[in-house]
Structure 1
Amino acid sequence: MERQADWRQEKAQALARARVVVIKVGSAVLTDAQGLSTPVLESLARQMAALRTAPDGHERRLVLVSSGAVAAGRAVLRAHGHSGETSGLSARQAAAAVGQGQLMRAWDEVFRAYDFPTSQVLLTRDDLRARQRFLNARNTFAELMDWGVLPIVNENDTVSVSELKFGDNDCLASLLVNLIGADLYINLTSAPGVYAANPQEVPDAGILECVEDVAGLDLGRMCGGKTSVGTGGMYSKLQAARRAAQLGVPTLILPGREADVLARAFGGEAVGTWVRPEEHAIPRRKFWLAYQSDPAGTVLVD
C-alpha cells in the first residue's frame, strides 16, 4: 500500500476509524499549585466520555494513562503541614502512595457523571517483561474494555525500583499501545504541540502541524528539559511517538488544558501536532522483544 501524500487526509481517516485509543495525560496538565485541578479533570472526563461513540456509531475503547499521583500526594502533605523535601526516590514513592488514592478518587468522581465506570491498573516494567504476565495483562485490559470500564493506568511508583521503572508515563503509554492493540495514541501535554526548535533557544519557534518522520528527528537538539512537576518533557513524548510509529500507530500531541481540545481535534480542527506512523509496521511480538524482554543467551564467535 502506497503512503498517502496528504497527511491531513490520513489524519482525518485515522481519527474517524480509531477503535482502541490510548490517552496519556501529564502532571503539568492535571495539577496546579494546589494539587489536582478539578475543572481540568471534569473537562477531560466530559470529552473522553463523548469520544466513546464514533461517528459511525461504533463504540470506541479507551485506556487512560494518568500521571499526577506524586503531585497530588505533595499537595496533601503540604495541607497537613509537611514541608519537607519530596524529590528523593523514597520520598517520591511515599508521595505517590499518598496521592494515588486521591488521583483515582478524583477521576472516579468526574467520570461517574457520565456513567463511565473506572478501574485502577498499576504496572511495573516487570509486568510487561515476562511474556506470561504480559499476556495476562492484555487479557485483563480486554475484559475491562468489554465491560465498558475505563482502565486508568499509572506506574506502580510505590514499589518500583530503577530496574523495574518505565522511566515516565510517556514510555508506559507507548508500551500499552502494543499491549492492548491500540490504533491511535493521544498525548495531552502542557505545550501547544511540538515546536520546530527548542523554544528555550529559539523563542519564536513555531508549532509543527505534522511530524513526517519522527525517527529522523534530532530529539536532543529539538527538545528542552522536563516539566517542573513531571518526569518527561517533549523529548520523552516524541520518544513515545517513535515507538508507536514503529507499530504503524499515529500519535496526536495536544495541549491538554485548552478548552474542548479533544472534540476540536476529532472535529477536524488543526490543533496540536500529528506524528505520522511508519509506512511498514513491525510485528507486535517483535516490538515486545525489542522493548519489553530481557536479552538472554550467549554468542560464541570462533
Structure 2
Amino acid sequence: MTQSDVNRSAFLKDIRRVVIKVGSAVLTTGEGLNPDAIDRLATQLSALRDRNIDVVLVSSGAVAAGRQRICERTRQCNKEYGDMASRQAASAIGQGRLMHDYDEAFAKHGKVTAQVLLTRSGLKFRDRFLNARNTLERLLEWGAIPIINENDTVSTHELEFGDNDTLGAMCLGLTGADLFVNLTSADGVFDRNPESNPDARAIPVIEDIASLDIEAMCDGKTNVGTGGMYSKLRAARRAAQLGVPTLIVSGKGAFDIPAALDGAERGTLVLPESKTVSSKKFWLAYHDDPSGSIMVDKGAANALLTKGKSLLPIGISAVEGCFDRGALVFIKDPDGEELGVGLTNFSSNELERVKGRRTSELADIIGPTSFDEAIHRDNMLLDAAI
C-alpha cells in the first residue's frame, strides 16, 4: 500500500505546472479570513513562479470573507448560513474581499492575479471546457496566477462541484498540470482516522491509491463532511488516473510548499497510476454526476473488463433511472458493483426497449440509428472514482 523509500526530490524535480488547492480551514479563523495565511501562501506561490513553475490556485474562503464583511459593516455577527441562498449571498459579498486580499498579497511580490469563477455546467459541454482551458492557458502564458473558485452565486445543488477538492482535480485536466498540491489542516494522510484512533500512523507515500479502502480509512464518506479527507483522497485517486501525483500536506502554521516540492518529507505523496487515462476520458467521467445505471450480464462485464469492448444492447440486463441520450451513467455488473461510467447513446426509455436484443433488431424496435453501441468504449471510463 505504501512505499516510504521513494526519492521525492527526484520524483518532483521536473514539475512545470501545479494546481494548489487551499481550503477554508487553512485560510480562515473564527472571525474570517486570516491575513497571515494569505500572505504566507502568496509568498510561497510567488517563489514557485520565480522558478518558472506555472501556478493555478483553487481557493475556498469566499463565504467566510462575506460573513466577516457583514459583521464589520452591519454588526450582524450571529447570522445563520445553513441555507443555500444565505451561503450564495455571503459568497457574493466575500468574493471581492477575498480577491482584493489575494491581489494585494501577490502584488508585494510583483505578481498579477486573475479571478476565474467556474460552474459545473460551464465545464459540462466540451466547447465551454475547451474555451476555459484556452483562457487559463493564456493567463499562464502571461505569467498571471489564476485563482479559481466555484461561482457559488449562480450554482444550484445539482450543478455544484460539491467541494473544492473535486474542483481542484477537475482543474488538472483543464490546465494540463503535472502536480496537485492539496493544502489541508491535517499533517497528511493516516491509515485510520486519527480523531478516533490515537494510534493511527501517518502514511508518507501511497503507491497504489486504487487499492485503498478510503471509505473505511475515513470512517465512511458520509461522516467526514464536505472537504474532509475522503474528498481529498478521492481527488487524489482521480489525479492518479490522469497520471498526476498529489501532495496532501498541512497548510497550517509554518508550511513550506517550495520545500515540499524539493523533496522534504512533509505530508503524503500519492503516486500516479502507471496506466493513465486521456484528458478527454477524464473529463467525460467527472464533469457530471451519473443520472442512472445500466446493469450488464456476466458476458458483457467480461468483454468490457478484459477485451476493451464497447457495450452493446444485447449485454444489458436492466436499466435504472430516467435519462436522455448523452447522459453520464453508471455501468454495473450482475451483483450491482460499479464497473465504471460512460456516456449513453440511448435514453433510458430506449434502453428498456432494446436491452438484451441483437444489433440487427434495433432499427425495427426504435427506428434507424447512427450507432449500434449503447456506450462506445471511447466514451467509457472503467474503475472511475465517483
TM-score, scaled relative to structure 2: 0.72
- Match for residue 71 of structure 1 among 45, 60, 64: 64
Q: How far apart, in 2, do the equivalents of 1:42 and 1:226 lie?
A: 29
Letter in 2 for 1:34: E
Q: For 2:67, what is the secondary structure of its paired residue?
A: helix
* Consecutive unaligned residues in structure 1, runs of 5 or more: none
Q: Structure 1, residues 119-172: CA drift from partner, whole Å, max 9, x if none?
A: 000000011110000010000000000011100000001110012110010000
Alignment of 1:80-95 (within 5 A): 80-82=74-76, 83-95=78-90
- The number of equivalent residue pairs is 290
The code of the aligned residue for 2:135 comes to T
Separation in 1, partners of 2:93, 2:11? 39
Deviation larger for 191-200 or 181-190: 191-200
2:215 alignment partner AA: G
Residue 119 of structure 1 aligns to a residue in which SS? strand
Query: Following the alignment from structure 1 to structure 2, what is the Cα–Cα distance between the partners of residues 205 and 217?
Result: 15
1:1-302 matches, cutoff 5 A: 8-9=6-7, 11-54=8-51, 59-79=52-72, 80-82=74-76, 83-223=78-218, 225-226=223-224, 231-292=226-287, 294-295=327-328, 296-298=344-346, 299=351, 300-301=354-355, 302=357
Unaligned runs of 5+ in 2: 289-326, 329-343, 358-386
User: Residue 6 and residue 270 in structure 1: after superposition, are their counterparts in 2 closer, same or farther (change >3 A)?
Assistant: closer
Bigger Rg over Cα: 2
Residue identity in the other structure for 1:65:
V
Give distance in 2, aligned partners of 1:130 and 1:14.
35
Give, in whole Å, the separation in 1 of the partners of 2:244 and 2:5: 14
CA contact (8 A) 1:26 1:66 kept: yes
Q: Deviations over 1:23-75 (max 9, x none)?
A: 00000000001211111111111111111244xxxx21110000001111112
The answer (yes or no) to whether the contact 1:19–1:61 under 8 Å persists in 2 is yes
Shift of 1:254: 0.8
Distance of 1:260 and 1:232 partners within structure 2: 19
Shift of 1:226: 4.1
Give me the CA root mean square deviation: 1.6
Q: Contact 1:14–1:184 at 8 Å: present in 2 too? A: no
1:67·1:154 contact (CA, 8 Å) conserved in 2? yes
Give the secondary-structure state (helix, strand or coil) at the position aligned to 1:63.
strand
Change (3 A) 1:6 1:84: closer
Asked if the contact 1:254–1:261 (Cα under 8 Å) also holds between the matched residues in 2, the reply is no
- 1: distance between equivalents of 2:224 and 2:34? 20
Greater shift, 137-146 or 11-20, is seen at 11-20
Whether the aligned pair in 1 keeps the contact of 2:46 and 2:109 (CA below 8 Å) is: yes
Give CA deviations for 1:180-199 in whole Å, capped at 9, x if unaligned. Answer: 11100000011111111012
